[in-house]
Structure 1
Amino acid sequence: MPLDTSETQNLVDALDKFDSDVRSKAEAVLVKGAVQIKKNLQEDARGSRYFKQFAKKISYETTKRKNTTEVEIGPENDKPTGKNPGGGPGAAIAYFGGANGGGGTLDFDEPVEREFDSIDEYMKKLGDAL
C-alpha cells in the first residue's frame, strides 16, 4: 500500500520559492520527522518476536539537491559479512513476508504515518510565519 505524501511534497515544493533560510528551516522539520519515524520503526521492530535484530539496522538518509530534499527511511539491506557471506533477504521478509509464507509481521506504514500529522503541522506553522 503506497503512502500518499503528495501534500507534504506540495508544501516543500512551494517552499522552494522562498529564500534559503526558510528552506533550511523546512529541511530541519523534515529531518526531525525522519528521526522520529526512525525511532517509531525501531520501536516497532524491537517489539517483534522474530525480527528484533532489524531495529539496529533502521536508519535514514537525507539527500539535498538544488530544489529538493529527499529523505529515505528504513532498514539497511543485509550486506555480506564474515558470519553471513551470502547476505540475506533481510527486511523484505520482515515487512512483506517470504515467498513460502512466514514473515510479514512488521508494519512499515503505521509507524511512518504516525509522524505525518506532526510534520504537516510544523510545515503549516512555518508557512503561517511567512
Structure 2
Amino acid sequence: MRPQPLAACLALAFALPVAYATASPQSETSTAATTGDVENGRMLAYTCQGCHGLTGYKNAYPSYRVPKIGGQSAQYLTQALNEYREGKRKHPTMQAQSTSFGAQDIADLAAYLSTLK
C-alpha cells in the first residue's frame, strides 16, 4: 500500500466534514443552479478516485462494479450527489461522502467530472 495517497485521502476525509460544519449557513437544497468551479472540483474529486478511478471500475472490497463518473453530465452528477445526501439513493459510502459536501462543493465536483473523457 502507498502511504502518501492514503494519508492524503484520510486528511481530506477528516477535513471536509469540519469545513462543511463551519461553512456559513445557506440553503443547501436550493433549486437555483450553482455554477461549479472546475479547479476546486478537481481537488475535491481526489477522494472519488479511491473507487471510481480504478482500472475497469471494479472495487475489491467487496467486489462490485463502480459507476463511471468521468464524462457524465454535470446535471446528472449534481442530481445523484444530492439524492445520496438526502437519502433518496442508498449506498453507505456515497451517503457518507455526499453529506460532507455543500451545494457549492457538489456543483464544483459536477463541473470537473463532466469535463473528463
**Is TM-score (shorter-chain normalized) higher than 0.5?**
no
Q: Is the helix fraction higher in 1 or 2? A: 2
TM-score when scaled to structure 1?
0.30
TM-score when scaled to structure 2?
0.32
- Structure number with larger C-alpha Rg: 1
Q: Is the strand fraction higher in 1 or 2? A: 1
